[in-house]
Each structure stands twice: as structure tokens, then as C-alpha cells.
Amino acid sequence: MDCIFCKIVRGEIPSNKVYENKNFFAFLDIGPVNRGHTLIIPKKHYKNLLEMPEEELKGYMEAIQKVSKAILQGVNADGISINMSNEPAAGQVVMHAHFHIIPRLKNDGLKLWPQSRYKEGEAEEIKNKITNSLE
């Protein structure tokens, strides 16, 4: 498949591999937010989390935890942020599922999310829209 991350899994494009097992592959992001910023991907091509079958998810989370602990210790970080963009509107650029595992340092100055406040009654309305859409 003509996908940059599929090519990385197959070794057709070089990467700095951090970890791999039967189903998952982790490698350094080429443009790190902080040193040690790692991408962890399923070896099989899925567009993003929304398209992944349930049976892949347990193993994915286990691999994410394993790699997160290694990053924390390996680069002597103070914390870990885990982020995934799903769909271009959310900032997804590479259309092969990937979590970013980002080592965080005290006072690294990163502010991820500008927050807002709900108006009176709005939170309940939004909550109902979401719960009514649960499958």
C-alpha cells in the first residue's frame, strides 16, 4: 500500500524503531515536540482509531503503556502526553492510525488545549446528543 507508515513497517523507509511486536510498531517522530516523541502504529493499515476493530484495541493500549514507561525512564521525562488526531479536521496528516507519545518536562511550556465554558443548559444538551449516539 502506498502509505508512508506502511512503508516504515515494511522497512522500505528508514525509521528509528523504538519497539515492535506482532501487531504494533513504534518509532521516533521525525519532528519531535520534545526529544523522545514517539509514534505508535498498528502494523495493519487502518485510517485511524475510529476504523480500528475492537479486538486490536487491548493490545494497542498495552503497547502504548509499555512504550510510554520506556520513554519516561529512557529520556528522564517528568510525564507523558498521549495524543491522537482522527480525521483532517482534528489535525490528522498521515492517514494511518498513530498515537503520539510525547515525553513532558516540568516547565516545558506546552499548552495543548485552549478551553472554554458551556452556557447555561448547553452542557446537558450536548451530553444528550452524545449519549443518544452511543452504539
> Annotated catalytic, 98?
yes
CB-nearest residue to Zn ion: 3
Could you tell me how far CA 58 lies from the centroid of its own chain? 14
**Sequential DSSP letters for 57-75:** HHHHHHHHHHHHHHHHHHT
Contact map string, positions 18 to 47, toward ligand AMP, x by CB under 6 A = -----------xxx-------x--------
Binding test (CB under 6 A) with ligand AMP, winner from 72, 82, 94, 105: 94
Number of residues that bind ligand AMP (CB under 6 A): 12
Three-class secondary structure of residue 80 per DSSP: strand
Helix (H) or strand (E) holding 1: none
Could you tell me how far CA 133 lies from the centroid of its own chain? 24
Binding test (CB under 6 A) with ligand AMP, winner from 89, 93, 112, 130: 93
Amino acid at site 53: P
Binding site for ligand AMP (CB under 6 A): 4, 13, 15, 29-31, 39, 85, 91-94
| Residues acting as catalytic residues | 98
